[in-house]
């Protein structure tokens, strides 16, 4: 839901974007030009993605942030012929169907970008040799243990220091709308 307003910049109202910023980043003090730049990075990430998780029609009918996703995809011509569409809650569906295990079990490496350090249980339950946590502050109501503000401090630090050990390394990312921009903007991603 939160990605809709950010993806929709500049057609989304600043009031709607500010509500998103307040919920996820605890601030609305981000200059318009910086927001536009972040939105452009998000649009590139969406256009380059293989799989797009989008809200269900019932969600779009209930809330404008969900509708904003479809509106932005259309307005900015972000849909590609090769895109595979799925439910935005795919991660939950995979977990409930016990299909997450085959995706990460016995992996040599798993990166976690989230507000919670769950490296030990993940390593143990899924028999992952190396689990590396990249902590980010969570949303307003669920901040987690990281105290560095998510944006710009944590966001920019993550972009500078995130290391992808090899092409195709698996990451589970729970970091809000800026998550994809963090990963794609990493200066140290494996080629």
Tell me the pLDDT band of 179, cut-offs 50, 70 and 90.
low
Alpha-carbon distances, residue 39 vs 10, 76, 137 (angstroms): 8, 11, 20
| Ramachandran category for residue 169: left, alpha or beta (phi over 0 → left; psi -120 to 50 → alpha) | beta
Residue 153 has pLDDT above 90, yes or no: no
Alpha-carbon distances, residue 37 vs 27, 32, 135 (angstroms): 17, 9, 23
Residue 60 has pLDDT above 50, yes or no: yes
pTM above threshold 0.85: no
What value does the mean pLDDT take over residues 102-108? 94
Of 93, 11, 20, nearest in space to 51 by CA: 93
Residue 70 has pLDDT above 50, yes or no: yes
Tell me the pLDDT band of 176, cut-offs 50, 70 and 90.
low
pLDDT tens-digit series, residues 116-130:
899 999 999 999 999
């Amino acid at each position: 839901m939160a990605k809709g307003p950010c993806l929709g910049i500049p057609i989304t109202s600043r009031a709607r974007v500010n509500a998103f910023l307040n919920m996820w980043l605890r601030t609305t003090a981000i200059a318009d030009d910086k927001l536009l730049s972040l939105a452009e990075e998000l649009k590139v990430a969406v256009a380059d993605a293989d799989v797009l998780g989008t809200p269900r029609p019932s969600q779009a009918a209930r809330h404008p942030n969900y509708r904003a996703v479809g509106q932005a995809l259309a307005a900015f011509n972000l849909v590609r012929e090769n895109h595979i569409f799925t439910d935005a809650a795919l991660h939950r569906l995979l977990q409930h169907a016990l299909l997450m295990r085959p995706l990460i079990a016995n992996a040599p490496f798993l990166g976690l970008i989230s507000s919670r350090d769950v490296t030990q249980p993940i390593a143990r339950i899924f028999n992952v040799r190396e689990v590396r946590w990249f902590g980010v502050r969570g949303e307003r109501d669920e901040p987690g243990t990281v105290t560095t503000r998510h944006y710009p401090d944590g966001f920019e630090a993550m972009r500078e220091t995130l290391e992808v050990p090899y092409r195709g390394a698996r990451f589970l990312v729970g970091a809000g709308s800026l998550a994809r921009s963090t990963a794609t903007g990493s200066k140290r991603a494996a080629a």
